[in-house]
Copies of this chain bind each other. A is one copy, B any other.
Amino acid sequence: MNSDRFSLPIPAPDVLSERCPSRDVLRHMTSRWGTLVLIVLCHGTHRFSELKRNIGGVSERMLAQTLQQLEGDGLVLRVAHDVVPPHVEYSLTPLGQGAADRLRELAAWIEDNLPAFLPAQAA
Contacts and interface: CB of A to CB of B under 8 A. Distances in A.
Interface of A: 12-19, 21-22, 24-27, 29-30, 32, 35-36, 39-40, 54-57, 72-74, 95, 98-99, 102-103, 105-107, 109-114, 116-121, 123
B26 A110 contact: yes
The number of times this chain is found in the oligomer is: 2
Residue with the highest number of chain B CB atoms closer than 10 Å, among A19, A29, A39:
A29
Contacts of A112: 13
Contacts of A16: 36, 39-40, 54-56
Given A95-B117, A103-B106, A111 B74 contact: no
A71 B95 CA distance: 34
